[in-house]
Structure 1
Amino acid sequence: NNAGILGLIKHSFSQHFILQGGLRFDRYQTETFALGEKGTDNYQAPVSKNFSNLNGSLGLTYQPIEKIILRANIAKGYRVPNLSELTSNGMHGNRYEIGNDSLSPENAYETDISLHYHGDFLSFDLAGFYNIIDHYIYVSPTDETTSSGVNIYRYSQSNAALFGGETSIRFHPESIQWMQLVSSFSSVIGKKENGEYLPFIPAHKFRNEIQLKRKKLDFLHEPALTLSAITALAQNHPSPFETPTPGYTLINLNINAELIISKQHWLLGITATNLFDKKYIDHLSTLKPMNYSNPGRNISLMVTIPFEIN
């Protein structure tokens, strides 16, 4: 059960400055019944938890000119452990997960700052954040196995910090308005209080796209093509009992168009992911310990026929 109350404020000091803030109080109650036979390995004792907390945020927006916006925020967040984290005791995919009924709620203290420029033919966004989390909850591999040899993962918590940022740029040439180039980069690093890296932290990633779109091309209406390249850098900062993961680049293709036949609209699309059938393993894959690769080339065709009832 969850009950909460919140309040929001917004005040403009001038046409350039806007202040926003909010407060929220939440109360959570979690109760479970006993499962399994007491004294056996799969026995799960009943859990009864009550949590309450007050959170808030404060943000300032500065817009010196129409096309430029600066934002800064500070916030306190709160998350209670869910049922999986508290009570897991069994197989989850290819691993055996064990919960922890003594977990405490997470308390996060976050600050971020961002810069945005949105012009007619060029847009640019840059953002960075730093997040300190008390009692951060995570599931991580251990050096334990079940009697049948399945790897055991346990839910734990530790004071931690997550920090990083993202940036993106969009270029829309004035002389070629049916083309758009998009490039972005995202990064996050997670560390425990003792300096160890957190488990299941994604690798830094680049994404580059070329988007082509016309109003009409011969008999096709709204034809669009997107060719994208996603590059994940090597993840060389694994947590204990994790292993490093090599980087990879995937090429994806998406084509869409609309046909009109006897006043009937047909929406056509073809999507190809991992176009060149790259063999790779993502660092977040739960099948990585078994050395199973992520999916290879996948091509799908979509035909949508909308009907209108007047």
Structure 2
Amino acid sequence: MGILQRGFTTETSFSNVNAKNGFFANAHGLEVRTSSIDYDSSSRDVDLPYHKVNHFKITNNTSLDLGNHTFHLDLGYQNNNREEHSEPIPHGYMPTPPDSKERAFNKNTYTLNVKDVFKPNAKHDVVVGLNMEYQDNNIGGWGGFLIPEYTRFTVGAFGYDQFEINKNLHLQAGIRYDFGVVDTHSYFDWYPSTRNNDDNTTSNIYLQRSQDKTLNFGSTSASVGLSYLRNKTTYKINIGKSFRMPLSNELASDGGVNYHMYRYEKGNLDLDPEASYQLDMEVDYSAKKFSVALSPFVNFFDNYIYLNPTSSYYETLQIYEYTQAKVFRVGGELSASSTVLKNVTLNASAEYVYSRQTSGPKKNFTLPFSPPLSGRLSANYQFKDLLFFNSPQLSAELKVAGAQNEIVPPEQITAGYQVLNMAFVSKLNTSKNSLPIEMRLKLNNVFHTKYFDHTSFYRLIDVPEAGRNISLSLTIPF
């Protein structure tokens, strides 16, 4: 809902998404043979263990045109409420819990973005602005945590200018400063554990899993680039420095098993902000019936943050630790499109990224979860309108991925694969006085190919990607 007037617009949106999904009981660490739940009674019920999520969001976007200046104001609030439930059984020193709520996670996020777009003269397009965000994360349950309670505040100010050197040549330049504060809170087990003392005695103590700590981060980012148009070809080149604060899970994850990813994650409070220096280019040729684009890049990270797999295990799950290393990356994407017949369009694309750690314990290795060389080839056929089908279109896409032999031990090598997907898309005219319904029918993995995605967390437990499946979606405007 909103207001639209001359020189002023404001729009407010609301959304609420609720979901309940089950976990694999064995991957969750439960012994199915001793459980009172009949897991085989139905293939469609959702028994313990499971998790449920409710995400509520309100956003407001406002624009005010004052002639030479146009102001944009974006406000937002999000609440993410998530719970994990499991059978309350004793484990180690932990007695039988009082209920099934193993973990609770409630995060409130408040955002403010404001910017001013103006033209000081005919040659310049300038944007200046400010971004602010505040997060408040609370936890509960008897099963520890993935991320402890924390608050996070970030603020960033930026300026951007596009300068027209001549009709076909433009210079873009921008600068930004970011500052952030992360405040993590301490957490102790709710039950005592027995520990051996140096004098051969024992003590019952409540183990501390996280600590109170305040971390401050700040840095400047900048970029400069050129774009040049010659006939039907556009050339672009950019060079810049970027900055990223460590996320809360990268800093403070510890004390809990991530059942979604089938691994045990440990954060690192000593992480520094991530800094990257990048050079990227793009050449784009576009004609009436044919287009092709090439976009290579190269960048170097002083302290790239990543999740490092170790050879240690916790309760049968592999331990991953957030760490940093100097990293060199180079890669790019090549894409092409052609209209071979009036109603037939062909598209092709390929992408590849080469990564190499140049410091740290995994020096000369790639990065974990690095994607292999991959490509897509698709064909689209546009039919004439038929009955109540408006602009019906049939498409087929072949996805090809090479083998990934570049791994970080103890990762496993993943074989290449080829998968064919098909789709039928159309608008449905149900009546003259209503907007058309958008229909999308998909047939994925047509040949029921068994394959593994190297970047998927299911790869860790040797679960292949989905076999042949059909989906139908309808978008009904009102």
Normalising by structure 2, we get a TM-score of: 0.61
**Range 198-207 or range 283-292, more displaced:** 283-292
User: Quick one: which of 16, 27, 30 aligns to 2:182?
Assistant: 30
Distance 1:224 1:41, change over 3 A: farther
User: Which residue does 2:353 correspond to in 1?
Assistant: 188
In the alignment, which residue of structure 2 is the partner of 1:56?
Answer: 222
Q: What percentage of aligned pairs have identical amino acids?
A: 32
Structure 2: runs of 5+ lacking an equivalent: 1-152, 193-204
One-letter amino acid of the structure 2 residue matched with residue 205 of structure 1: S
Q: For 1:172, what is the secondary structure of its paired residue? A: strand
The two structures, once aligned, show a CA RMSD in angstroms of 1.7
2:154 counterpart of 1:2:
yes
- How far apart in 2 are the matches of 1:13 and 1:5? 26
Q: Which residue of 2 aligns with 1:113?
A: 281
Deviation of 1:164 after TM superposition, in Å, equals 0.3
Greater C-alpha radius of gyration: 2
2:266 aligned with 1:101: no
Q: Is the counterpart of residue 17 in structure 1 residue 169 in structure 2?
A: yes
Write the distance in 1 (CA, Å) between the matches of 2:392 and 2:326.
Answer: 50
CA distance, structure 2, for counterparts of residue 30 and residue 127 of structure 1? 36
Q: Which moved more, 1:254-263 or 1:243-252?
A: 254-263
Question: Partner amino acid for 1:168?
Answer: S
Give the C-alpha shift of residue 41 in structure 1.
6.1
Q: Does 1:157 align with 2:324?
A: yes
Matched, 1:130 2:298: yes
Partner-residue secondary structure (3-state), 2:460: helix
Per-residue CA deviation, residues 201-260 of structure 1 (Å, 9 max, x unaligned), is: 111111000011235245521101110000111011001211211001111111012233
Q: Which portions of structure 1, spanning 4 or more consecutive aligned residues, are displaced by more than 3 angstroms?
A: 37-42, 264-267, 303-307
Distance 1:268 1:161, change over 3 A: same
2:284 counterpart letter in structure 1: H
Paired residues of 2:222 and 2:242 also in contact (CA < 8 A): yes
From 253, 257, 261, the equivalent of 1:91 is: 257
| Residue aligning to 2:440 | 269
1:293 has 2:464 as partner: yes
Is 1:172 the counterpart of 2:339? The answer is: yes
Q: State the Cα distance separating 1:103 from its structure 2 match.
A: 0.6
Q: Which amino acid in structure 2 is aligned with residue 228 of structure 1?
A: E
Q: Which ranges of structure 1 fall in alignment gaps of 5 or more residues?
A: none
Superposition pairs for residues 140-289 of structure 1, below 5 Å? 140-146=308-314, 148-173=315-340, 176-193=341-358, 194-217=363-386, 219-263=388-432, 265-289=436-460
Cα offset, 1:155, TM superposition = 0.7
In 1, Cα distance between equivalents of 2:392 and 2:208: 56
Alignment partner of 1:244: what SS? coil
SS in 1 for 2:424: strand
* Alpha-carbon displacement from aligned partner over 1:122-142 (angstroms, at most 9, x marks no partner): 000001000101110000211
Residue equivalent to 2:474: 303
Which amino acid is 2:188 matched to?
Answer: G
Matching residue's letter, 1:78: F
Query: 1:278/1:42 Cα in 2 relative to 1: closer, same or farther (>3 Å)?
Result: farther
Contact 2:186 2:208 in 1 (8 A): no
Question: What is the letter of the counterpart of residue 280 of structure 2?
Answer: D
- CA displacement, residues 258-310 of structure 1 (integer Å, 9 cap, x when unaligned): 23344354433211111211111110121223211111112012234434xxx
Which amino acid letter does the alignment assign opposite residue 240 of structure 2? A
